[in-house]
Structure 1
Amino acid sequence: MSGKRASASQGGNDRRKKKYRSDGTPVWGKRYIDGPGIWVTCVKGKEKQAVGELYELFGNLALELWPEDPEKDNDDSDPDADGELSLEAQIASEVSAMKRPRKEQRFTNCQTNTPCVVFISCKPPVDPVQLVMTHIHNVYATGVTHTRHSLRFSPVSAACVTNLPEIQALCRTVFEPCFGGSVGQKFRYKIESRIRNHTTIARADLIEAIAKCVPEGHTVDLADPELTILVEVFKSVCGVSVVRDYLKYNKFNAVEIANAKNASSSEDTSARRIE
């Protein structure tokens, strides 16, 4: 009996330790991977810190790319703006605010229970590819990562169960606007795959199945592709996206991009001093 009480007490303590945002939504909310979203590798042992800095980074970028509708926040205006309210009116206003649905979060951390890797799911209107490309371009231009623990960013446009028929159906949907958007234009492409905690499908079989989904006329180029198909397999989930300039931007490793930028800036400064 005492064991049950101890267990219940311990469970209660775990629930109390659960972290929440200021609006009451849990930070560690999802126990499963759910795309679209973004895979991010990070420093080992710093997974929680990485999630925190990614919330801030992605939130700021999303506000710039997809500004929120200010009309939705009109109800949050100062209740005294039109004059001083009576006590009853103030109470009624507070009760109404409490009943108002919370603003839906654009980003949610999905637990991976795997060292050095986190997954942040995205909700519309956020486009993971555009979000990651914007961040990578910013790092490339400034040499500033805005993060301390996050390393490589891999967007996922959509995800499905990890079996070949499901993956091929998903790929055809994702590939259509990327490979078929420009009539007559042909691209050089490469398939970049990562498989974590999964042993059912062999890498060679996965790549062969995905290559069959690319429309005819496009050619494979492992050295200098124009488009890179990113395939991320984690346990029973497969995520797919198509990106540009993947090799140019150090496979979207923000730290390597920043280091290269800063090293180049230091060399330019030294050269000017010598002149």
Structure 2
Amino acid sequence: MSNSKFIRIPDPHLRGSRTNYDDEDDDDEDDDIEAMISKERAKIHEEHAESTELTGERYKRSNKPKRRIELSLTVIHHTDTPCVLFVGCEPPIDPVRLTLSYLDQIKQTGSAQTRSVQRLEPIYDTCIAALPELLILGEKIFKEKLGGVDADAKPQVSYKILSRIRNCTKLTSAKIIEELPRKVPPSHRVSLTNPDIVILVIAYKSVAGIGIAPRFEELKKYNVSQLVDVPDLDLDQGGRSRSRVTNAVVAQSTSDASFGGND
């Protein structure tokens, strides 16, 4: 056997066929890439649309009309003393007028709409529980409500001073009754039996306040429970007694669990 070398001659048909196969594969790969790109692009658009919708929804939620916040004209101040509760009134509410309006309502309706409060103690303003500050406050209130030291325009009234001191060692009733009348306009006179007004001095810990209470005896010393239990003959209630109570500026309660108390 002779050694012979085989020379491979490429078959143009086979070569062409191979080339066609390669072109088809390239076309398939191009189609696959385009499909992937289109799919990815569609996914991006979809995610963007969802994100835009979510953002728009959040924007809508954030731009909803905000609920109007109503500011209360009364503020409850809880104390550490059992059965004592302070209610602060913002202008234009007048604590004395508010109290009188409520007490008159009790007389007219026979119902106090609460079971907790025993007595109301309206005051106009507060100060540090010290005699000098109390005298300054008294002079200011008397000038405004009673006409000042030299006032002749205000009608003459009779008055007495009533102090209620709780957990306070800086003030004494004796000292208040001795010093405070000097700040009352001299045109007004003292009456311990049947005064037109009662000057209330309320002291609690380090705070003191002054109020002017008209019709004090008529309205049972602003004792709600006593006022409710008294039949109003003008309303023809047939002697029906009433029961229940409510709160105003500075109130006392008959319940140990709430704020209020007895003398």
TM-score range, shorter chain: 0.5 to 0.7
- What is the aligned partner in structure 1 of residue 102 from structure 2? 135
Secondary structure of 2:82's counterpart equals coil
Q: Distance in 1 between matches of 2:83 and 2:211?
A: 21
Match of 1:200 among 146, 170, 173: 170
1:265 alignment partner, one of 205, 226, 237: 237
Partner of 1:176: 143
Q: Name 1:33's counterpart in structure 2.
A: none
| Alignment partner, residue 240 of structure 1 | 210
Aligned to 2:182: 212
CA displacement 1:227-249 (0-9 Å, x = unmatched): 11011000111111112101110
**Paired AA for residue 198 in structure 2:** T
1:120: Cα distance to partner?
Answer: 1.1
* Equivalent AA in structure 1 for residue 181 of structure 2: A
How far is 1:203 from its partner? Answer: 1.2
Match in the other structure for 1:43: none
Q: 2:66 aligns with which of 97, 112, 123?
A: 97
Q: Equivalent pairs: percent with the same residue?
A: 30
Deviation string 1:122-171 (CA, Å, 9 cap, x unpaired) is: 11221111111100111112211011111101111100001111111111
Pairing 1:108-119 to 2, within 5 Å after superposition: 108-119=75-86
SS of structure 1 residue aligned to 2:115: coil
- Matched residue type, 2:215: D
Task: Confirm whether residue 121 of structure 1 aligns to residue 91 of structure 2.
Answer: no
Give the deviation of 1:119 after TM superposition: 0.8
Alignment pair present for 1:189 and 2:159: yes
1:12-51 correspondence to structure 2 within 5 Å: none
In 2: Cα distance, 1:137 partner to 1:128 partner: 14
TM superposition score normalised by structure 2: 0.63
Q: 1:242 to 1:221 in 2, by over 3 A?
A: same
State the Cα distance separating 1:105 from its structure 2 match.
2.0
Structure 1 residue 103, shift from structure 2 partner: 2.9
Higher Cα Rg, which structure: 2
Superposed displacement of residue 188, structure 1: 0.5
Whole-angstrom distance in 2 between the partners of 1:136 and 1:159:
23
Where 2:216 maps in the other structure, the secondary structure is coil
**Secondary structure of the equivalent of 2:162?**
strand
For structure 2, list consecutive stretches of 5 or more residues without a partner in the other structure. 1-55, 242-263
Structure 2: how far apart are the matches of 1:129 and 1:151?
A: 17
Counterpart residue number, 2:131: 164
Aligned length: 181
SS at match of 1:238: strand
Match of 2:46 in 1: none
Q: Give the Cα–Cα distance (whole angstroms) in 2 for the partners of residues 268 and 231 of structure 1.
A: 35
* Counterpart AA for 1:226: D
Structure 1: which amino acid aligns with 2:169?
T
Distance (whole Å) between structure 1 residues aligned to residue 111 and residue 135 of structure 2: 38
Amino acid paired to 2:185: P
Q: Distance in 2 between matches of 1:158 and 1:225?
A: 22
What whole-Å deviation, never above 9, does each CA across 1:26-45 have from its counterpart, x for those lacking one? xxxxxxxxxxxxxxxxxxxx
Q: Tell me, yes or no, if the aligned pair for 1:142 and 1:261 is still in contact at 8 Å.
A: no
Once residues 132 and 124 of structure 2 are traced to their aligned partners in structure 1, the CA distance between those partners, rounded to angstroms, is 18
Q: How does 1:54-73 map to 2 (within 5 A)?
A: none
> Partner of 2:186: helix, strand, or coil?
coil
Q: In structure 1, what is the Cα distance between the partners aligned to 2:80 and 2:213?
A: 27
Question: How many Å separate the matches in 2 of 1:172 and 1:105?
Answer: 30
Cα 1:176–1:197 shift into 2, 3 Å: same
Q: Is the 8 A contact 2:200 2:213 kept in 1?
A: yes
